Amino acid sequence: MTQLSHPIPPLYDENSKILILGSFPSVKSREQQFFYGHKQNRFWKVLAALLECPVPVDIAEKKKMLLGHQIAVWDVIASCNIEGSSDASIKDVKPNDLSKILDSCDIRAIYANGNKSYELYQKHIYPQIHREIIKLPSTSPANAAFSLERLVGEWQLILESL
């Protein structure tokens, strides 16, 4: 098990209205230095379907899509012990400080991409900031119980906050 620090800065600007939090970047995301880098992760397909735009193919397009639709993205964990990309292996969590995002833009709602980010937020961040988080099903390929269509249906909730 390896102690790792989060290598990717948060993505947001002064116009961001919602914040989507994952748990910690996968091996592929750490390699690419950007969120949801594993080609099997359905995050980009889900958001593109909801926002009615093409699926972004590179980091520049991903940033443009998110910021153009007032979406901020980051993760709950600043550092932890983790084996590979396994959320189940996460231990010794140090949470990210969300204040830099929350103090600089009008975040209307915070969403968790999956159970682990929701649980870690409730344990490590909610007691400090007292902002509710809404749990959405994970876009990870490990969440095989959810088809792309079912994910899109569940994630439509974010549109209410944009």
Q: Is 15 a catalytic residue?
A: no
Residues β-bridged to residue 110: 19
Burial class (CB in 10 A: 0-12, 13-18, 19+), 59: middle
Which residues are within 8 A (CB) of 73 and not within 5 positions of it... i.e. 6 or more apart? Answer: 10, 11, 12, 19, 20, 21, 22, 35, 66
Q: Among residues 15, 41, 81, 113, which one is catalytic?
A: 41
Which DSSP letter does residue 56 get?
Answer: P
- Catalytic residue numbers read 41
